[in-house]
A and B are shown apart, each in its own frame.
Chain A
Amino acid sequence: MNAKKKRRLAFAAALVAVGAMLAVLIRFGLGQNIMYFHSPAEVAAGEVGEGVAFRLGGLVEKGSVSHGAGAEVKFRVTDGKGSVPAQFVGVLPALFREEQGVVATGAMDAHGNFIASEVLAKHDEKYMPPEVVAALKKSGRWKEGAE
C-alpha cells in the first residue's frame, strides 16, 4: 500500500467514525426532545398522559376566557369534538381572541387542566396554524374557504 492509498483509507475511516458518532448524537437528541401535537379531541379521549409536555392546538372557545388574580388567564381550547381547560400565567399575544386559532405548549396536570407555558396565536387574518387546520378538519369543524 502506498502512502496516498494509506492516507485515503485513514481519511475514510475517520469520516465513518465521525459520521457514526454524529448519527448516535442526533438519534439520542431526537429521542429525548421531540414534542407531539395533540388536538383537544385526543386529549379529551385520554390519549395524553399527565406531565408529558406537548402542543395543544385548536380554537379558543367562545365565552371561555376569564382572568384570575394577577396575570393568570383561563380559557378553553376546542376543536368541536373535545374541549380542554387551559391555564396560563403571562401576557397573551396581541392576536389572541375567542374563536380564533391558538397553539399552546404545556402539559396536563392531575385535574385535567392544561398548564400552558407558552401561547402562540395566529399571525394574521389569513393565517391559521396548519396543525389547527388539520385538527379542525379531523373533527369536521373545518369549512373550506371560510378562512
Chain B
Amino acid sequence: MTGELGQLALCFALALSLVMAVAGLIGTRTEANAARRVATSSALGFLVFVVLAFAALTYAFVTSDFSVALVAGHSHTLKPLVYKISGVWGNHEGSMLLWVLVLALYAGMVAFLQRGGERLTSGALGVQGLLAAAFILFILFTSNPFLRLDPAPFEGAGLTPLLQDPGLAMHPPMLYAGYVGLSASFSYAAAALLVGEAGWARAARPFMLIAWIALTSGIALGSWWAYYELGWGGFWGWDPVENASLMPWLIATALLHSALATEKSGAFRTWTLLLAIAGFSMSLIGTFLVRSGVLSSVHAFASDPTRGFFIMVLIALAIGGALALFAWRAPTLQGGAAFEPASRETALLLNNVFLVAACACVFAGTLYPLILDALNGTKITVGPPYYAITFAPIFFALLLLVPFGPQLGWKRGDLKAAWHSLYPALGLAAIAAIAVLAIVAPRTIAATGAFAVAAWLIGASIIDVRKRKGARASAFAAALAHAGLGITLMGVAGTTAWRSEAITVAAPGQSFTVGPYTLRFDGVSRVKGPNYIADRAHIVVMNDGKPGAVLQPEHRLYPAEGQDMSDTAIRTTGLRDLYLALGDERDDGRFALRAYVSPLAPLIWIGGLLMALGGMLSLWGRLRAPAREPTAPAVVQAAE
C-alpha cells in the first residue's frame, strides 16, 4: 500500500508544482495578489506531498518491503537500520526523489520566509515550480522508485558495502542540499530579471549561504570518506565526480562574494545575476555527469540512455531558458555602480575572475575526455598533473589576494593603509616559510610556499578579527572562513609533501616500520559483524619496545552482496594520522599490509569545518537582519 500512496503523493506534488509555477509567474504582475497567495500555499502543499512520497519510500526500505522493486534491488533485511534508511538515496531512483525533496524544502523556505518584494518572491516560486515539475516528470517517466515486483522476492540484493558507511550515509543529502540550494538563487535571479528588481541579492542571501555551507560540508564529507574508506589514503583524486561537486562550489563561492558587492554598493548587478544562473547550471551539469552513466564511477548508478537524454533536455531547457531571459532582460536593468580601482569591489572582482577561471579549468578537464570519446571514441583521462599546472596556480594567486579584500573599503579604499595593516601577516608568512625550511624534511618549494600562504591567510584573519573587535558575531564570518581555507591548505600541503608509506607482506609476529612508528603485526582473527564477516588484523604500535595502542584494520566480506571491502584503521593525534589497511592473504599465511603516516591530514577537514562555520555565522546574522533593504540605502550613508 505505501508504494501506491507514495506514487499518488508524487502525482499530487506534480500537480501542485504546476499550480505553483503558473500562479507564481502570474504573481509577478503588480495587481495579481490572489495568484501570489495561491503560489505560496501551493508551495507549502507541494512540500507536504513530496515529504509524504519520500516518507513512503523510506517506510518501504525500513520495513524491507521487497514487493517494491527498488527496495528488493538495494536493501536487505540484515542491514543495520541506518543503512536501510541511507539505502533510500543509495540508488538512482531514490536519490532523484531526494533531489526533489530538497527542492521542495527550498521552495517551502522561499514561500515561508517571503524575503524580498512580493512580486520577486512570487516569481522565484514560479521558477522553482517549473524546476520541480520537470524533475518530478523525470522521476515518474524514467526513474519511478515505487514500481512493484510480482512475486516479491524473500530477500533483497543488498547495498554496495562501499556505501554502508556513516560518512556516506550523510554525504548525498549534504551535497544535494548544496546542489539544489543553488536553485533558490537561480529562481530569485530569474524572478529579478522578470520583475526588474535589484534587491534580489539581499533576499536570496540566506539561500546562497545555506547552499554554500551544505556544499562545503558535503565536499569535505566526501573527501573524508574517500580518505578512510578507499584504502589508499587519498583525500582528492580529481575524479570527474569530485569535480562535479567542486565546480558548483567554486561558482557558489564567487556568487557569495559578488552578491555581497551588489548588495552593499550596487556593483556587478548583471554579473551577479549571471553567476546565480551559472551556479545552478553547474549543479545540473554535475547531476548529468553523475547520474547519466557517462562516467565510470561508484556514483554512477544509472546507465539507461533515456535518462541521460531526459536530463540533457532538462538542462538545455533550464540553462538555455535562463540565459535567454538574461539576454532579453539584463540590458533593461540598471547598470552596476562605479568604484575606484583600489576598493573592496576590485578585490571581489579579482576574486570572481580567479574563481571562475579555476572553474573553467576544472570544467575543461572534466568534459574534454567526454567530448573526445563522443567525437571519435578515443578514451583518455585527465589526471592530477593537468590540475597541478592549471587549477593550482590560479587558486594560489587567488589565495594571495584574499587578505586584501576585508582591509579595503567599499567604493574607495586605501591600498597603502591595507598593505600596512597586513605587515604582521606578511611577517607570519615569512616565519612559517623559514620554520618549514628549517625543521621539516624533505624540503619542497610547493610545501614551503603553501605554508607561507596559509600563514598569510590566517594572520590576515587574526588582523581582521582584531580590527572588528566588539562588532556583531556575524562580522567575523569572513575571517573564520578565510582562516579555514588556510588551515585546509596546510593539511593538503602537509599530507602531500611529507606522507610516508610502507607496503609489506608480514607473517604474524613480524614487525615493520612506517615513518616514526614501529608496528608489530599480531595476526588476524575472524569476527562477525551485523551483515558481514571480517578478517580483523591486530597491529600494535610499539613505544620503545613496549606495546602501546592496537589498530584493527579489517577485510570484510558481505555475503548478501557477495562483495569484499577493506575497512581501514586510523589513529590520529589531531596533527598526524597513522593509517592502516589490510590487504589479501598469501598462500603461506602472510598478509599484505599497507601503512601510511599522513602529517596534518586532519587539518584538511578541520579547515573545511571552519569554512562551513564561517558560513553559518554569516547566515545567523542574516536571518536576524531585516529581509528588505533599509529605507535609506547603505551606500548613501557610507558616502556621507
Contacts and interface: CB of A to CB of B under 8 A. Distances in A.
B461 to A, nearest CB: 28
A30 B563 contact: no
A22 B361 contact: yes
A94 interface: yes
A129 B364 contact: no
B360 A26 contact: yes
B390 interface: yes
Interface stretch (A33-41, A44-52, A74-82, A107-115): A33-41
Interface residues on chain A, size class: 35 or more
B69 interface: no
Residue of B296, B338, B380, B386 with highest tally of chain A CB at under 10 A = B296
Main secondary structure of the interface of A (DSSP, over half): mixed
Contact of A124 (B335, B503, B561): B561
B385 to A, nearest CB: 4
Contacts of A123: 160, 162, 298
Contacts of B162: 123-124
B340 interface: no
B364 A91 contact: no
A131 B378 CA distance: 10
Interface string A8-40: 000000000010001001101110111111000
A95 B389 contact: no
B296 A33 contact: no
Given A124-B160, A124-B563, A91 B389 contact: no
Contacts of A55: 381
Interface in B367-392: 368-369, 377-383, 385-387, 389-390
Contacts of A129: 296
A2 to B, nearest CB: 13
Nearest to A128: B296
B374 to A, nearest CB: 13
A71 interface: yes
Given A70-B505, A94-B564, A123-B160, A32 B361 contact: no
A78 to B, nearest CB: 18
Contacts of B561: 124-125
A34 B382 contact: yes
B418 interface: no
Interface stretch (B31-39, B107-115, B579-587): B579-587
Interface in A60-102: 67, 70-71, 89-96
A72 to B, nearest CB: 9
Contacts of B593: 91
B291 interface: no
A26 B380 contact: no
A18 B357 contact: yes
Contacts of B566: 94
Contact of A34 (B160, B360, B386, B389): B386
A95 B564 contact: yes
Given A7-B338, A91-B592, A124-B160, 20 more contacts: A33-B383, A33-B385, A34-B369, A34-B386, A35-B382, A36-B378, A36-B379, A37-B380, A37-B381, A55-B381, A70-B503, A70-B505, A89-B503, A90-B503, A90-B594, A94-B584, A96-B584, A124-B561, A127-B298, A130-B296
18 contacts: A25-B361, A30-B365, A32-B385, A32-B389, A34-B381, A34-B382, A67-B505, A89-B503, A91-B592, A91-B593, A95-B564, A96-B584, A124-B162, A125-B561, A129-B296, A130-B296, A131-B296, A134-B377
* A-B pairs, 6 with minimum CB distance: A91-B583, A37-B379, A33-B386, A94-B564, A29-B390, A33-B385
